[in-house]
Amino acid sequence: MSYGRFLCLNSGIIIPQMNDIREQIESIEKEIRETPYHKGTEHHIGKLRARRARLIDKELGLEAKKTSGGGGGGYAIKKQGDATVVLVGPPSAGKSTLINKFTNAESKVASYAFTTVSVIPGMLKYQDAYIQILDVPGLLEGASEGKGHGKEVISVARGADILLIMTDVERVVFLGKVKDELNKSGIRINSVPPKVTIVKKNYGGVNIVTNVKQPLAKSTIAEMAREFGLRNADITLKEPVNFEDIIDAFSGNRVYLPAIFIINKIDQEKGDTRYTDTDHDINILKISAETGTGLDKLKKTLWDKLGLIRVFLVGPDEKPNLDNPIIAKSGENLAKVAEKLSTDILERKKLAKIWGNGAQFPGQEVPLTTPAQEGMQVRFI
């Protein structure tokens, strides 16, 4: 090991400052394991865990890219269509076969590992939406540390709207392993950000505000904030938070993505196999990309998970019809739909007439703050 200067923690404990980031991480992890956890050590362990998280971010190349949301020096992929899906999993799980069945991609298919050595884009048309699907190299254990194009694959995954995490009947355990690798890389699957609000200030130190009982002392949270460079800030906690919640909130580079877990090649399964993964709380879809089994259900699940809806545009002289669909996200209002048509339409159009879903009567005039709904027919006026 190569040692440089020493790092002095506020607890008074001095540990060597090693030149290699991985050595520093392992040293801190060793101290965390060897330190009994109780209220007296909570402050020290919190600082150690915060420092470890910052070093991991630095190792992954995330620390300098907090504001951009990127990470890992990955592929430059142009997002196209109404949504972008990244297909991840271990090598030879049938990802290339699936994308070829779904889209117009031409991803080379073979029975050996590492066939996919670059990102292969394809476009799935479903329910009038164009959904970009990216086939990336197989994700291996250790991907978060760069193994097998891991950092590049994770970089692409961070920019997705949704992930399809796929393995085959022989390697079901890989679903959990892939989820773990993504989690280590700052990608949170099927979860929401902790309810923590941070308002930076120019002076006044760190002030912790909460109306709910917290499992961590305010002094611990404040010290973890300072470890992340938050010297002056009002931090509001709207729910109970643990170490990981605090670290995710302070890191500023976590990505929260929906995901669908898939087991492929069910045409090759033997007997009545049940697939469960209680350790990772995974709900699993079973498909065969080769035979097409389960692909219609997968498309429907993908559509629902993306939260896409169709709004149909009605021209000035047209009767209500379903000829001109535009894809929106569930929860968007008609102003967002208008923006998809033209950047200046909101300066010219203040109201809309609607028919079908959401309309109290045909041709109802509504403000553009009205929520868009699946099947709604709209004329901007």
CA dihedral over 239, 243, 245, 247, signed as positive or negative: positive
Non-local (6+) Cβ contacts of 281 within 8 A are: none
Output the tens digit of pLDDT for each of the chain's 381 residues.
Answer: 444 444 444 444 444 444 588 899 999 999 999 999 999 999 999 999 999 999 988 887 776 444 333 344 445 577 889 999 999 988 889 998 999 999 876 666 655 555 555 788 899 999 999 999 998 887 766 655 655 566 778 888 999 999 999 999 999 988 988 898 899 889 999 999 999 999 999 999 999 999 999 999 999 999 999 999 999 999 999 999 999 999 999 998 999 999 999 999 999 877 655 555 544 556 899 999 999 999 999 999 999 999 999 999 999 999 999 999 999 999 999 999 999 988 788 788 889 999 999 999 999 999 999 999 999 999 999
Q: Are 83-191+255-306 and 308-380 in the same CATH fold?
A: no
CB atoms within 10 A of CB 160: 25
Q: b or e along 346-372 (b: 16 or more beta carbons within 10 Å of the residue's beta carbon)?
A: eeebeebbbbbebbeeeeeebebebeb
Distance separating alpha carbons of residues 141 and 132, to the nearest angstrom:
26
* Domains of the chain, residue spans: 3-66+194-251, 83-191+255-306, 308-380
pTM: 0.82
Distance separating alpha carbons of residues 301 and 131, to the nearest angstrom:
13
Domain at 83-191+255-306, CATH class:
alpha beta
Non-local (6+) Cβ contacts of 177 within 8 A are: 90, 141
Give the CATH architecture of domain 308-380.
Answer: Roll (3.10)
